[in-house]
Structure 1
């Protein structure tokens, strides 16, 4: 097995079944066939416990399907494999309705951690805290913009000053008050899995209590197949507050700052542009 030995050892320990084949999907994700014929996906990640808790919390809502968790330890997560399929308008509209229902299933507070999650979470390769607040604007400024801005060494002083203005004006920029939603939390198009069963499944969550417009803004950030149909289904189930389109850059600021922390100047211009657009509200 060579370098795949850690994968087979971890999967055998977690599932109690012997792997019979291993196929690398990336440097940290493998598809594994088990001795009973089942296919699973094994993921090496510091966020294994947080992701497992997030998947369980999303599944509890009974809305959008997510892969079942076969088990995890501190570094490895093993989930069921979901056969990929083609994106379709019908699946997109159904997904939009399901996403609205997922959000409506709610959370106890903004920043709320999924039950059973560790003290801190992850969004991709970046740490994400679970500090909770009853009010979205200050929580977003203090726990979703400020921490990543402080670690964004790729931004210069004038660029940081533009984003700091967003935090200073957050109350007027935030729009109408909303209750905490149950968020996927990292809803870029790569985590929208079009499956062979004709449905959309959600993978790789950074689940927490947040504002539902944040998930939708992330769908806009890097594009999503049939996004118009997703929004059609969503709005039919759960209309959004007036002005939500103008607030998209505000909600995109969080994931863009995460990308600045992880990838440097590549996303600096986009983050500053989002902040300037948010301030135009």
Structure 2
């Protein structure tokens, strides 16, 4: 087996250990291809090298099915992670996120993700922008999104945590996961991330997912809630170029919360 080495001199403490633990935790249920971990140290992570191929509708549908099974494998708690500290963001500039066993998705999302990052980007925001983001966070804090489309509550899912298109590798053995920010979370976190930056065959992925785990009507209307952290993080990491998309998500969240209350 060929080896791929991911490395960075001066990587934050525990960064590669967290990634290795996340990959192993996602592989544990044996329902989804996950890149194999060989070993790691403070400055590098050695992985099995995988062969890439082009995505197609069949492999996308199969990936959706496997993702549903991965989520249903569960987690000890919302906010739990397989290693501490935990990180989010690119190799060049990750930032630490809190590891805490939370009583609900709302607690995880508001207290450990949204509010800290919103504070970090406050100096990039106008008063109106700040008010919009704060209103969206307050709408989530009301608890309307602990379930899906206002139905019941969700148990903690085993989520990848950074499932944008660049962290999927399409291989002859099926779509393979890389570069996780794995934790116990809400399964819509992963589904929402897939929508952000143009995942190929997205409708086929969603169809495969719903073949295993049927979803309530209007579930996609909840997705802005679940990609809101990633959008705020992109403002923090890359600047105001992502602010417009973030504010659009905030307005959608506010509107969705009002709709669910009606």
Give the TM-score of the pair, scaled to structure 1: 0.82
User: Aligned residue for 1:160?
Assistant: 130
Q: Find the counterpart in structure 2 of residue 186 from structure 1.
A: 162
Check whether the contact 1:96–1:233 (CA below 8 A) recurs between aligned residues: yes
User: Aligned pair 1:223/2:198, yes or no?
Assistant: yes
Give 1:198 shift: 4.3
Secondary structure at the counterpart of residue 40 of structure 1:
strand
Instruction: Judge conservation of contact 2:114–2:232 (CA < 8 Å) in 1.
Output: yes
- Structure 1 residue 98 displacement after superposition: 0.3
Deviations 1:228-267 (A, max 9, x none): 1101100000112343111111111110011010011011
Pairwise CA RMSD: 1.5
Q: Which residue number in structure 1 is paired with residue 250 of structure 2?
A: 275
Asked if the contact 2:85/2:97 (under 8 Å) is kept, the reply is no
Q: Which residue of 1 aligns with 2:84?
A: 118
1:1-281 pair list within 5 angstroms:
38-44=2-8, 45-46=11-12, 47-114=15-82, 117-124=83-90, 125-152=94-121, 153-170=123-140, 171=142, 173-174=144-145, 175-176=150-151, 177-195=153-171, 197-281=172-256
Moved over 4 A (4+): none
- Conserved 8 A contact 2:85-2:96: no
How many aligned residue pairs are there?
A: 242
Higher-Rg member (1/2): 1
Rounded Cα–Cα distance in structure 2 between residues aligned with 1:225 and 1:122? 23
Kept in 1: contact 2:63–2:205 (CA 8 A): yes
Under a length normalisation based on structure 2, what TM-score does the superposition of the two structures give?
0.88
State whether residues 85 and 198 of structure 1, in contact with CA within 8 Å, keep that contact through their aligned partners in structure 2: no
Unpaired segments ≥5 residues, structure 2: 257-262
Deviation string, structure 1 residues 162-206 (Cα, Å, up to 9, x no partner)? 1111222222541331000000000000001111x2410010000
Q: Per-residue deviation at 1:148?
A: 0.8
Deviation at 1:67, TM superposition (A): 1.1
1:37-79 Cα shifts (integer Å, max 9, x gaps): 7332333243211100000000101111111111111221111
* Structure of higher RCO (CA pairs closer than 8 Å, 6+ residues apart): 2
